[in-house]
C-alpha cells in the first residue's frame, strides 16, 4: 500500500498523469483506503467425547480438556455426551469444571440414540449451551443408593451407580428408575427414609440452581429429580430445557454462531460458523481409568480386594491372596471416587517398592516380586499429569524400569532355585559318610567324636580307641559305623 501511494504521488508530481487518469487514480486510492481488512479466521473449537458412566476418569477428562482448550486459545468446548448416569462426586467435579471455565462450554447429546440420563442431566444443565441430536433423550435424575434402596424407601434399583450423599452414605443416579410421582409432600416422598429424602432434596435444589443459572426450565429440572421425568430432544426444546436441536456438530456450530455467552470474565460472542474443529479424544490412560472407574468394575475390584485380604488374615503366609487383594483394593477405591488418582498412584508405587523389598526376605516364590513390579509400573503410569510439559512419565522411562525389575526378580528366583538343588548341609542325614574317631570302647557302649560331637556308635567289628571309622547310618541317638580299613577292603 505504501509503495503504491508513493508511486502515485511521484507520477502525479512529474505530470505523467492526464486528467482522466488522475481521476481514476484518485478513485482507486480512495477505494484502497476504504477497503476493509481481511477477516481473521475464527478460533478453533475443541470437541470432547464422553461415552459411558460418569466416573473419576470422565470427570478428569472433562476438566483437563476444558483447561487445555482455554490454554490453547480456543473459543468453545463441545462435550459430546452419551451417558446412563454415574457417581455424584464425579458429576459435581465435572459441573464445577464447567462453571469455572474460562471459555464457553456446550454439551451436545449425540449421536442419535444417545442419552444424557441421570448425572448427565446435571452436566447438561450446567453448560452454557445445551443441545441434543434428534432421537436422544435426557432426564431420570433421581438419586439412588448403591446396592438398592434402604428399608422403607422406594429409591433405587440394584446396580445403581454410587454417590456420596448426606451423612456419609453412598448413592447415585440411576437412569432405569421407574418411580411414581413423588413431588414434595407426596405419599412416596413421605414414605422414603430421612436419608433418601435428604439425598433427593439436595439433588433437586442443585439441579434447580443450575437451570436457573442458565435461564432454563427449573420446574422441569426439579421434576427430573423428584419424578424421574424424561424428555426427548424435540420436547426438551419446546420446554426450554435445551437451546438447540442439531443433527451434527457442524449444524450446532452454525446455530451457535453469533451467540453471546456470559462468563465470569465477560460476555464473548461466538464465531463458530466454519471454525476449525479439534478433536481431543481420550488417551489410553483415560480409557483405562474409565474402565476401572465403571461402578460395576469398581465394585468387583473392591470385593476381590477385601476377600483377598480376609483370606490372607485367616491363612497367614499364603501371600498370593494378600498381594492380589491389595492390588485390587487401591484401584477399586479410586473407581468409587474414595481415593484421589494421585494418592492411588503414589500408593501403588510405595506398595510395589515394599513388595519387591519383601521378596528378598520372605519365601514367596516370586509372588511378592511380581506383584510389586506390577504395582510399581501401574503407579508410575498414572501418578503424574501427562498434560503438563516436562512432568509426564514417558514410556521410555517406565518400560526400562519394568524390564530391570523383571530381570532382578528373575535373578533372585534363579538363585533360589539353585540353592534348592544343593545337597542338604545339615539335618539328621548330614552325618552319613563322615569320618569319626573312636574315643571310648569296651563295655556296652562305644563312643566316637564326629565333627566335634560325641556320639554313641555301634559296629559289627571290634573297635578300639583312636581308630578311625566311617558313619554308615543314623538310628535315633546311635550311629552305625564301620572301620575305615574294612571299608577299603570291601571296596
Give the DSSP letter string of 227-296: S--EEEHHHHHHTTS-SEE-SSHHHHHHHHTT-B--BTTB--B---TT--EEEE---HHHHHHHHHTSHH
Averages of pLDDT over each 10 residues, the chain, 491 residues: 51 52 66 58 92 89 93 95 91 95 96 94 96 96 68 39 37 44 48 81 95 95 94 96 96 94 91 92 82 85 91 85 90 82 82 83 77 83 62 66 76 72 64 85 81 85 87 86 67 44
- Name, in order, each residue with C-beta under 8 angstroms of 332's C-beta and a sequence gap of 6 or more: 298, 299, 300, 301, 302, 304, 305
- Name, in order, each residue with C-beta under 8 angstroms of 403's C-beta and a sequence gap of 6 or more: none
Q: How far apart are the first and last CA of the chain?
A: 118
pLDDT at 463: 86
Q: What is the pTM of this model?
A: 0.67
pLDDT at 339: 78
pLDDT at 491: 44
Is the previous residue joined to 36 through a cis bond, with omega within 30 degrees of 0?
Answer: no
pLDDT at 135: 95
* Cell numbers describing residue 179: 418411580
The CA–CA distances, whole Å, from 489 to 438, 471, 486 equal: 20, 16, 5
pLDDT at 173: 52
Q: 446 — phi, psi (to 5°)?
A: -125, 135
How many helices and strands in the chain, by DSSP H and E? 17, 17
pLDDT at 35: 58
Burial class of residue 83 (count of CB atoms within 10 Å of its CB; 0-12, 13-18, 19+):
buried
The position carrying cell 449425540 is 110
SS3 call for 50: strand
Amino acid at each position: 500500500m505504501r509503495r503504491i501511494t508513493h508511486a502515485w504521488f511521484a507520477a502525479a508530481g512529474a505530470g505523467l498523469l492526464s486528467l482522466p487518469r488522475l481521476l481514476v487514480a484518485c478513485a482507486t486510492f480512495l477505494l484502497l483506503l476504504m477497503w476493509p481488512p481481511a477477516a481473521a479466521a475464527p478460533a478453533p473449537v475443541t470437541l470432547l467425547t464422553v461415552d459411558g458412566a460418569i466416573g473419576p476418569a470422565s470427570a478428569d477428562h472433562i476438566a483437563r480438556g476444558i483447561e487445555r482448550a482455554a490454554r490453547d486459545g480456543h473459543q468453545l468446548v463441545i462435550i459430546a455426551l452419551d451417558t446412563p448416569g454415574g457417581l455424584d462426586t464425579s458429576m459435581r467435579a465435572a459441573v464445577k469444571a464447567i462453571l469455572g471455565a474460562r471459555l464457553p462450554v456446550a454439551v451436545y447429546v449425540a449421536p442419535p440414540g444417545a442419552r444424557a440420563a441421570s448425572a448427565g442431566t446435571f452436566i447438561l444443565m450446567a453448560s452454557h449451551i445445551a443441545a441434543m441430536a434428534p432421537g436422544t433423550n435426557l432426564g431420570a435424575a433421581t438419586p439412588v443408593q448403591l446396592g438398592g434402596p434402604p428399608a422403607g424407601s422406594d429409591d433405587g434399583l440394584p446396580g445403581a451407580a454410587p454417590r456420596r450423599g448426606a451423612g456419609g452414605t453412598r448413592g447415585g443416579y440411576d437412569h432405569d428408575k421407574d418411580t411414581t410421582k413423588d413431588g414434595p409432600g407426596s405419599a412416596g416422598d413421605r414414605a422414603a427414609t430421612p436419608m433418601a429424602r435428604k439425598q433427593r432434596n439436595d439433588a433437586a435444589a442443585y439441579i434447580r440452581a443450575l437451570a436457573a443459572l442458565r435461564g432454563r426450565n427449573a420446574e422441569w429440572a426439579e421434576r427430573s429429580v423428584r419424578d424421574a421425568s424424561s424428555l426427548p430432544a424435540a420436547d426438551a426444546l419446546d420446554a426450554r430445557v435445551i437451546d438447540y436441536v442439531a443433527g451434527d456438530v457442524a449444524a450446532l456450530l452454525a446455530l451457535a454462531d453469533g451467540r453471546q455467552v456470559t462468563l465470569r470474565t465477560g460476555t464473548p460472542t461466538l464465531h463458530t460458523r466454519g471454525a476449525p474443529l479439534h478433536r481431543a479424544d481420550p488417551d489410553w490412560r483415560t480409557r483405562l481409568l474409565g474402565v476401572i472407574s465403571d461402578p460395576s468394575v469398581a465394585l468387583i475390584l473392591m470385593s476381590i480386594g477385601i476377600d483377598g485380604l480376609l483370606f490372607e488374615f485367616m491363612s497367614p503366609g499364603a501371600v498370593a491372596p494378600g498381594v492380589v487383594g491389595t492390588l485390587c483394593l487401591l484401584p477399586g477405591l479410586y473407581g468409587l471416587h474414595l481415593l484421589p488418582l494421585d494418592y492411588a498412584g503414589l500408593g501403588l508405587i510405595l506398595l510395589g517398592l515394599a513388595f519387591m523389598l519383601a521378596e528378598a526376605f520372605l519365601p514367596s516364590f516370586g509372588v511378592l516380586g511380581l506383584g510389586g513390579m506390577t504395582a510399581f509400573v501401574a503407579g508410575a503410569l498414572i501418578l503424574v499429569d501427562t498434560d503438563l510439559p516436562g512432568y509426564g512419565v514417558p514410556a521410555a522411562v517406565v518400560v526400562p524400569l519394568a524390564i530391570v525389575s523383571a530381570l532382578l526378580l528373575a535373578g533372585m528366583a534363579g538363585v533360589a532355585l539353585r540353592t534348592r538343588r544343593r545337597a542338604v548341609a545339615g539335618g539328621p542325614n548330614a552325618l552319613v559318610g563322615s569320618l569319626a574317631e573312636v574315643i571310648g570302647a569296651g563295655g556296652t557302649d562305644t563312643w566316637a567324636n564326629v565333627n566335634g560331637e560325641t556320639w554313641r556308635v555301634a559296629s559289627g567289628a571290634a573297635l578300639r580307641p583312636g581308630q578311625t571309622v566311617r558313619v554308615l547310618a543314623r538310628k535315633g541317638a546311635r550311629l552305625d559305623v564301620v572301620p575305615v580299613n574294612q571299608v577299603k577292603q570291601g571296596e
